[in-house]
């Protein structure tokens, strides 16, 4: 195995463009930790910070033949990370605005009695669908949605990793969304 610790960033980049995965790993090891710390300071979420840095490096590898970094690699990486973080902020803002808008609509337009009956039936259908999930996924999902615990709090409570919690919640959400559609599913989340 080659040791690239003495290579410059430009030398490593040339090797990466030539499909050298060991040089790519050397770049990752050189910069991932400081990029992660920066992402964590901006996002305040361990898993999200890890994910955004991983995504940045995956994009670097995937686009290695199109990217032309003439000068300072750290500046390029920080700029790319900043853009990804700004995208996350924008996504969070849009998500918050949509949920607030939906909640405001529901507050201003109370559901008539027959809709409340249908809503109750929908909740029962969702609960039945939850029963089809593995017991651990059900438990994690209920702690997240019914008790509003964070992924970190759930991980500590159940002695599992935050990544496992995130994956289990996403699995449950995906199954429920595919079964019931977004609007009715959002009604369930807002109850």
Q: What is the domain-level CATH number for residue 19? A: 1.10.1740.10
Q: Work out how many domains the chain is built from and give that number.
A: 2
Taking 50 as the pLDDT cut, the residues of the chain under it are: 1
How far is the C-alpha of 21 from the C-alpha of 38, rounded, in Å? Answer: 25
Per-residue pLDDT at 2:
62
Per-residue pLDDT at 125:
76
Both 79 and 118 in a single domain?
Answer: no
Per-residue pLDDT at 1:
44
Both 124 and 73 in a single domain?
Answer: no
Which residue range forms the structural domain that includes residue 61? 9-89
Both 78 and 125 in a single domain?
Answer: no
Per-residue pLDDT at 183:
54
Both 85 and 114 in a single domain?
Answer: no
Per-residue pLDDT at 123:
74
């Amino acid at each position: 195995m080659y040791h690239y610790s003495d290579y410059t960033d430009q030398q490593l980049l040339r090797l990466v463009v030539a499909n050298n995965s060991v040089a790519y790993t050397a770049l990752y090891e050189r910069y991932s930790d400081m990029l992660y710390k920066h992402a964590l300071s901006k996002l305040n979420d361990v898993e999200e910070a890890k994910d955004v840095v991983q995504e940045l490096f995956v994009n670097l590898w995937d686009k290695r033949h199109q990217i032309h970094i003439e000068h300072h690699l750290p500046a390029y990486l920080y700029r790319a990370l900043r853009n990804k973080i700004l995208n996350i902020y924008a996504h969070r803002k849009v998500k918050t605005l949509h949920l607030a808008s939906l909640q405001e609509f529901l507050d201003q337009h109370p559901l008539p009695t027959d809709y409340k009956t249908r809503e109750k039936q929908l909740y029962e259908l969702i609960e039945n669908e939850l029963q089809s999930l593995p017991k651990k996924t059900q438990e994690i999902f209920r702690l997240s949605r019914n008790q509003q615990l964070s992924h970190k709090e759930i991980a500590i409570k159940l002695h599992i990793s935050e990544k496992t919690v995130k994956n289990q919640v996403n699995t449950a959400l995906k199954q429920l969304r595919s079964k019931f559609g977004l609007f009715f599913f959002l009604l369930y989340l807002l109850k």
